[in-house]
Structure 1
Amino acid sequence: MKITKKHIYILLCAFAGVTITWYINHKMGYGAIIANGLVGVVAAVFLPNDLAGITYTSSFVGMSSIDIIPTLQTASLASFIVGIILISTAEIYAGIGGKGGTTAALSTIITKNLIDFFR
């Protein structure tokens, strides 16, 4: 698979969605719902529709408990994983509802298992 500019944008939006949501949720203490909502609204206002959806989907991962994603570095790893999954499944799940939550859950599970494996 050739890496395109679109893939870079997807990875950057995934990184921003996960890490900013995680930071607002855990470091600033506003909680998962407010962090997710804030990231979603800002993404919807400033990004094109497809990238806003990717950022919002990625922010679901940042809503995870501190027990699942304990550090900002772990959130960064999770953002890379969610970005790769979004790039890999873009055409497979086109038009199917629940893709965002499923993608975020799968990314979180993979991240948690990687952390536990290397611990």
Structure 2
Amino acid sequence: MTTLVTQILSSTETLIPFLLTMTSCVCIMITILRIPSTSRRQKAFSTCSSHLDVVTIFYGTIIIVYVMPKNSTLRELSKVFSIFYTILAPLANPHIYSPRNREVKEALRKVCS
């Protein structure tokens, strides 16, 4: 009984935010497709796809760790997947978004020169 309750709670607490995030991404994609300029549309898709990568890593690993049925293989892999959503996803955000910032690009050029 406890396992069933845990399974239901972990499913709702991970799948509902994931579905809301994916709904938001779909709305953003629809808006991007309405942009008349090809270069602006490409730039928007580039930014959005990077965000989608991080969201997929974060929610994908959380769903595997908390929602998937527990067996001996997944129990061992859960430790590895936990690293993905606790360390990799937050660590990836600055690397994805910072190089897009002009000020960061200029600072990197000065450091490298």
- For the criterion TM > 0.5, the same-fold answer is no
Larger Cα-atom Rg: 2
State the TM-score, normalized to the length of structure 2.
0.33
Which protein is richer in helix relative to its size?
A: 2
